[in-house]
Amino acid sequence: MMTTELTHESTLRELATEEGVLRYHEAGQGPPLLLLHGSGPGVTGWRNYRDNLATLSERFRCLVLEFPGFGVSDPTDRHPMVAAGGAVIRFLDGLGLQQVDVIGNSMGGIVAAQVAIANPDRVRRLVTIGGIGRNLFSPGPGEGINLLMEFTENPTRQALIQWLHSMVYDPALVTEELIEERWAQATDPATLAAARRMYGRAAFAAQRAHAAASDAPPYWAMLHKLKARTLITWGRDDRVSPLDMALVPMRTIPDAELHVFPDCGHWVMIEQKAAWESAVLAFLTRKDGR
């Protein structure tokens, strides 16, 4: 049982690497559990997972990595998603961790899957939260991604509020405190510049053109190579990455199970906190391997 309050300051750590300082939050003891955050205005790993740390850290050494390009770790000149996989490996190497369990929210789940495919011995079990996969029946990009692009192009407070509302099922979760902390980070010039490399309309169009011209398969077409046992978690009412996106990973990842949470948007670990934590702990601590 944790006896020390898990605050931002008490859990914050730094790791110097050859490509700059990686900042992270650490809590608990036990097998290492790496938590990777999603993208979007004002996101940080701490904000994604701060309310889950008390429960998860009772069983695991929780390591919440802050990706370069989001205003916490040292910045990167590259597309933040391109830089993320290398940051994960540098982080694991820097801490001397050969194998970890990984939880990835949205973009973090995509990065985790890519890392696990490329380095199958380093990820034991994988938990994803929305985001991973491919739109099959719903329009792509989804409502939340379009609102994210609108904010990135024209970062107003109202655009941020509209995007935040697309992330949740219960609008009461969009509090003034949440708006303020997200606004402060999202409008930082360096963070906004990195966001535009990801979600500006010109950047999005360039990414699509590059993908269309490339002979390399998209990551979701390679999920059959994922060796890690995988738990896919999803909000039934996700308006950022709609539920039909889960069908490809659920079918193609060799050892995957899917858990869908009702009355829940994109932030499953926040909106369905207790149910999500229960499902994740049961999956990660299962003794029989199934």
Catalytic residues: 266
Contact 21/51 with Cβ under 8 angstroms?
A: no
Q: How many CA atoms are closer than 13 Å to the CA of 220, on its beta-carbon side?
A: 16
Q: Is residue 249 reached through a cis peptide bond, with omega within 30 degrees of 0 on the bond before it?
A: no
Q: Is 272 exposed, middle or buried (0-12, 13-18, 19+ CB in 10 A)?
A: buried
Strand, coil or helix: what is 66? coil
Residue 15 CB coordination number (10 Å) = 17
Pairing between strand 12-17 and 32-36?
Answer: unpaired
- Six-digit token pair at 255? 């050892």
CA 92 to chain centre: 17
Separation between Cα atoms, residue 198 and residue 152, nearest integer Å: 9
**At 272, which amino acid appears?**
Q
